Amino acid sequence: MDIERFIGLAFTGFFVIILFFIIIRSLFLMSRDMGAAEEVKEKSLRLTILKSGENRSLKEGGVISIVDETTFGRKNDNTIVLTDPYVSGYHFRIFPKDGRFVIEDNQSTNGTLLNGEK
């Protein structure tokens, strides 16, 4: 009877140790994935659409993810095509520079506002 009890305790201890290593390994992998997600977050920009106006391709509450240079305007060869009559053919662009994103007006007729300022 004592040998059966010893074997049972040994298997229980072995199981607890294996479970411990599985949990530690899982936590390590999750923390590494979260670190990679932070790197991606730093290198991308997300724009939330507040008002879509008459533009059918954009929905209010939608999100535009920007990683590389993205152009906005009425012409069809822009990355994001806007149908507003006050938007120029090539209105503005957003691009990464030195770890930040820059918005640049493309000499549009009506200018580009950012937080209410030209």
Residue ranges of the alpha helices (H) in 1-118?
A: 2-42
Residue 82, pLDDT > 60, answer: yes
Q: What are phi and psi of 64, to 5 degrees?
A: -110, 120
Global pTM reads: 0.60
Residue whose token pair is 């290593």: 21
Q: What is the Cα gyration radius of the chain? A: 27
Measure the CA–CA gap between 25 and 80, rounded to whole angstroms. 43
Residue whose token pair is 């069809």: 76
Average pLDDT estimate for 100-118:
82
Average pLDDT estimate for 32-58:
71
Residue whose token pair is 């106006």: 53
Residue whose token pair is 């580009």: 112
